[in-house]
Amino acid sequence: MSDIDELIDRAAHDLAASSYAIALTGAGISTDSGIRDFRGPDGIWTKNPEAEKRAYETYFRFLRDPGQYWKERLTMGTSLLGNLREAQPNPAHYALAELEKMGIIKSVLTQNIDGLHEKAGSQRVFEYHGSIYKLRCPSCGIRFRYEEYDLGALLAEGKLPPRCKECSAPIKDDVVHFNEPIPSDVAHASLEEAHRCDLMLICGTSAVVYPFAELPRVARRKRAGAGLFSPKQEKATVIIEVNAEPTPLTAEGISDYLIQGRLAEILPRIVARVKELRH
């Protein structure tokens, strides 16, 4: 067996033996759906660091003048990521959905905003950085589908920004921008999942964006802390990374092992092996 075959086999055994596995995903899982990532070798920020600096301002522009923010969004051209709505899931998304159907993966915590996990059939998805399909009220936290607002009409009538149907505060797109707090519902749910899981499968993230990158560390500390504050030794959480390149989680030994390669190839092979083990 090659190194990679051995690691795929090991991951399949670990998943089959887990009782509460969760997946954490980042932009790398969607590159095979034609969506560029930010920090991979061909990433948007890697190629255009100026665009990253400008992105740091986006949330402040909303806070300063929500009406103007919306006017610019509705009148300026396409987003940096292109037309995400046309993208389709790839075999890596389907593999995670299948592991959920098999009862192995209990939830997917994703940084992605592209909605591809749900399109692939994953049911329990926490969108940590929001979704391109939704709007959110920063004041009361309620979310709306874009279809619930006629933004074109509000623009034409000079009635921007759109306002929350519950509390009438100005609402923004659901996507979480730099400097913007993570919505408290997904932040809490994700933290709970990180505490609860006994296996974390981390897919396609450079693991440098916080607080999401804290979640593997939470799972890791649970193990390190066991015995320090609690008399009962907790079962160690297995942390597996699948990524095209090593990350800080690899370097710091937060993950137990890295399966280095393309997610669309590796995840379906893991699923196939789990199925063999279950027969």
Could you tell me the two tokens for 149? 């607002």
Under rule CB under 6 A, residue 204 binds ligand CNA = yes
The residue (of 163 and 177) whose beta carbon lies closer to ligand CNA is: 177
Which position's Cβ is nearest ligand CNA? 28
Region from 137-145, 186-194, 205-213, 223-231 binding ligand CNA, contact rule CB under 6 A: 205-213
CA distance 139 to 252: 38
Under rule CB under 6 A, residue 129 binds ligand CNA = yes
Among 18, 23, 24, 28, binds ligand CNA (CB under 6 A): 28
Catalytic (active site) residue 117: no
AA identity, residue 267 = L
Under rule CB under 6 A, residue 245 binds ligand CNA = yes
AA identity, residue 48 = N
Among 142, 256, 262, 268, binds ligand CNA (CB under 6 A): 262
Tell me if 251 sits within 8 A of 258, measured CB to CB: no
AA identity, residue 185 = D
Residue 29 φ/ψ, nearest 5 degrees: -80, -15
How many residues at the interface with ligand CNA, by CB under 6 A? Answer: 28
Q: Which of 13, 129, 195, 279 is catalytic?
A: 129
For the window 75-114, what string marks contact with ligand CNA as x by the rule CB under 6 A? ------x-----------------------------xxxx
Shortest separation between residue 30's beta carbon and ligand CNA, angstroms: 4
The residue (of 89 and 204) whose beta carbon lies closer to ligand CNA is: 204
The residue (of 127 and 198) whose beta carbon lies closer to ligand CNA is: 127
The residue (of 58 and 206) whose beta carbon lies closer to ligand CNA is: 206
Residue 211: asked if its preceding bond is cis (omega within 30°), the reply is: yes
Under rule CB under 6 A, residue 38 binds ligand CNA = yes
The residue (of 66 and 91) whose beta carbon lies closer to ligand CNA is: 91
Q: Which residues of the chain form contacts with ligand CNA (CB under 6 A)?
A: 26-28, 30-32, 35, 37-40, 43, 81, 111-114, 129, 204-206, 209, 243-245, 247, 262-263
